Chain A
Amino acid sequence: MPPERLHAALRATPNGAWLDGVLEKALDETTAAPGTFARSFAAAGRRTGRGPLPGVPGWTADEAARALLLAALPPGRAATEALDLYHHGDADEKRAVLKALPLLPIGADAVPLLTDAIRTNDARLLAAALGPYAVHLDQALWRQAVLKCVFMGVPLAAVDRLEERADAELAAMLAAFAEERQAAGRPMPPDAVALLARLTSDPSGRSDEDQDGRRTTEET
Chain B
Amino acid sequence: MRIFDPHIHMTSRTTDDYARMAAAGIAAVVEPSFWLGQPRTNPGSFTDYFDSILGWEPYRAAQFGVVHHATIALNPKEANDPRCRPVLDLLPRYLDKDRVVAVGEIGYDSMTPEEDDAFERQLALAVEHELPALVHTPHRDKAAGTRRTLDLVKASGIEPGRVAVDHLNEVTIDLVHGSGCWMGFSIYPETKMSPPRMVELLRRYGTERVLVNSAADWGVSDPLLTVETAEAMLAAGFDEDDVDRVMWRNPVEFYSQSGRLDLTGVTGAAEPTFAGSSIKRGGE
Contacts and interface: CB of A to CB of B under 8 A. Distances in A.
A121 B59 CA distance: 9
Given A90-B55, A94-B55, A122-B55, A47 B282 contact: yes
Interface residues of B, number: 19
Nearest to B47: A88
Interface stretch (A37-45, A130-138, A141-149, A158-166): A37-45
A56 interface: no
A43 B96 contact: yes
A50 interface: yes
B98 A88 contact: no
A90 B281 contact: no
Interface in A20-63: 35, 38-39, 42-43, 45-51
Interface string B53-68: 0111011000000000
Contacts of A169: none
A80 interface: no
A210 interface: no
B69 to A, nearest CB: 11
A35 B93 CA distance: 8
A122 B97 contact: no
A46 B284 contact: yes
A90 B284 contact: no
Say whether chain A's binding surface is mostly helix, strand, loop, or mixed.
Answer: helix
B282 A90 contact: no
A28 to B, nearest CB: 20
A98 to B, nearest CB: 13
Interface of A: 15, 35, 38-39, 42-43, 45-51, 88, 90-94, 120-122, 124
27 contacts: A15-B282, A35-B92, A39-B96, A42-B93, A42-B96, A42-B97, A45-B98, A45-B282, A46-B259, A46-B284, A47-B282, A47-B284, A48-B282, A49-B281, A49-B282, A50-B281, A51-B281, A90-B51, A90-B54, A90-B99, A91-B54, A91-B58, A121-B56, A122-B55, A122-B56, A122-B59, A124-B59
